[in-house]
Amino acid sequence: SSSSSSSAAAATSPHVLLIAFPGQGHVNPVLRLARRLAAKGLLVTFTSTSDIGARLLSSSSDVSPLPNFRFDFLSDQPSGPLAALDDLMRHLASAGPPSLAALLRRQTVPVTCVVGSPFLPWALDVAEGLGIPAAVLWVQSCAVFSAYYHYHHRLAAFPLSDSDPPVSLPGLPPLSAADVPSFLHPSNPYKLLADTILASFGNLGKARWLLANSFNELEHDAIAAFSSLRPLTPVGPLTDPFRGDLLTPADDCMSWLDAQERQSVAYVSVGSVVVLTADEMAEMAWGLRDSGRPFLWVVRQESRGLLPEDFLEGLTTTEGDVGRRGFVVGWSPQDRVLSHPAVGCFLTHCGWNSTLEALSAGLPVIAFPQWGDQVTNAKFLVDVYGVGVRRPEAEGMRARAAKWKEAAAAAVAEGGSSDRNIQNFADELRSIVV
């Protein structure tokens, strides 16, 4: 029968179990790699916390099963909403290892390889304890991987304040204090998260393979230089049109985009974690309104109350939704938005998934990084890939332009540098006796 032949195939093919840190920026690339491994004929199991499981299955995500692709979530007894990242890290470190071990033991087809994450360093320990070979999937850039590795192993001195010289890492442009991941700064508020990630760079010996969500053409120099330390295998960009939404996307923005002119729309998103302040929200809101251009802005539920009063009302028109100049959604189908012909640029917080998705869609970006690896990604988008400008750069340009205007006026004002030179020239001419 077909069921016995498929179980025979399953029994003989390798079984890969991938575990994702419970965050949208991890779930998407891990799911996408899982689907690609399944498409190569492996038996694949995707796991994460039970909370992620519940959200994935209820958000109308594109999680339709393949015959050799399964979900099996941890029974990690979530202790209510864990708002603070460091609380989440503590919960995972205590509840994660026993539930992962139980999950691995209950698999009917033995697991051949666990694909873990430096954000979940204990996954490698559990795999090792059960004698299962392990890999890690790094979901950020190879440049950032190299930076953390060099920092952890004290292979370079990192600039931690603006007065420190930039650090030169092999295959990377010099990185100033503003460009190195903010988790390395003394002011980083996410101590446990940073410590966990960095400690895992001392634990990489337990992984037989280091995989990264990047590609050779993009990060050739960083990857080549790092390979003298350890082979780092790029398997991305993991930007396939396959979604693992933890929030339900507002699909009605797609018909609004259909009605907009080609390359006219600015798409604005800060990803799944960043929360802007009320002032930043107001600045963005009036900036978008005053730009005179159509925009699609993702404002997650928790920030909606920070929109300036009357802003949303000001967007409605008598023509109905399609006539609106701006569209605000709680969550977008981002991969579909970025590849829509009406979208002309992407104002992004520079999360690595958003960065790769923008590059994959061939879209220029306006970078406004907030923290973590976003600041490093912004540096690369602007100075290495050449596809972006920084949002404050426009302000910087205006400030520099204002400075030149002032200096020009001062130079020719009475007593100014050029005025004095003219005076001297005139005086010399006067002294010539013809």
Distance between terminal CA atoms of the chain? 115
Please give the Cα distance from 272 to 175 (Å, whole number): 26
| Shortest reach from residue 2's CB to ligand UDP, in Å | 36
* Residues contacting 71, CB < 8 A, separation 6+: 45, 46, 47, 53, 56, 57, 63, 65
Tell me which residues in 336-395 interact with ligand UDP (CB under 6 A): 351-354, 357
* Residues contacting 12, CB < 8 A, separation 6+: none
Contact 181, 152 (CB under 8 A): no
Nearest residue (CB) to ligand UDP, 24 versus 214 = 24
| Shortest reach from residue 112's CB to ligand UDP, in Å | 28
Nearest residue (CB) to ligand UDP, 260 versus 334 = 334
**CA quadruple 127, 129, 130, 135: dihedral, nearest 10:** 20
| Shortest reach from residue 247's CB to ligand UDP, in Å | 8
Contacting residue, 61, 99, 214, 332, with ligand UDP by CB under 6 A = 332
**CA quadruple 285, 289, 291, 295: dihedral, nearest 10:** 80
Please give the Cα distance from 417 to 408 (Å, whole number): 10
Is-cis flag, bond preceding 173, omega within 30? no
* Residues contacting 29, CB < 8 A, separation 6+: 137, 139, 213, 236, 238, 353
Long-range Cβ pairs for the range 194-197 (8 Å, 24+) = 196/89, 196/93, 196/119, 196/121, 197/118, 197/119, 197/148
From the list 21-29, 31-39, 49-57, 100-108, the region that binds ligand UDP by CB under 6 A is 21-29
Contacting residue, 28, 49, 146, 213, with ligand UDP by CB under 6 A = 28
Nearest residue (CB) to ligand UDP, 23 versus 159 = 23
Q: How many CB atoms lie within 10 A of CB 59?
A: 17
| Shortest reach from residue 240's CB to ligand UDP, in Å | 11
Contacting residue, 334, 340, 361, 391, with ligand UDP by CB under 6 A = 334
| Shortest reach from residue 307's CB to ligand UDP, in Å | 16
Structure tokens at 313: 């009302």
Known active-site residue 220: no
Tell me which residues in 247-276 interact with ligand UDP (CB under 6 A): 269, 271-274
Quick one: angle between helices 142-152 and 191-200, nearest 10?
Answer: 90
Contacting residue, 138, 158, 311, 331, with ligand UDP by CB under 6 A = 331
DSSP letter (8 states) at residue 384: I
| Shortest reach from residue 198's CB to ligand UDP, in Å | 18
| Shortest reach from residue 45's CB to ligand UDP, in Å | 22
Nearest residue (CB) to ligand UDP, 73 versus 331 = 331
Nearest residue (CB) to ligand UDP, 179 versus 357 = 357
From the list 259-267, 285-293, 328-336, 395-403, the region that binds ligand UDP by CB under 6 A is 328-336
Nearest residue (CB) to ligand UDP, 48 versus 99 = 48
By CB under 6 A, the count of residues binding ligand UDP is 19
Residue 298 makes contact with ligand UDP by CB under 6 A = yes
Structure tokens at 403: 């400075």
Nearest residue (CB) to ligand UDP, 3 versus 301 = 301
Catalytic residue among 26, 91, 185, 349: 26
The residues binding ligand UDP (CB under 6 A) are 23-25, 28, 269, 271-274, 298, 331-332, 334-335, 351-354, 357
Active site amino acids: 26
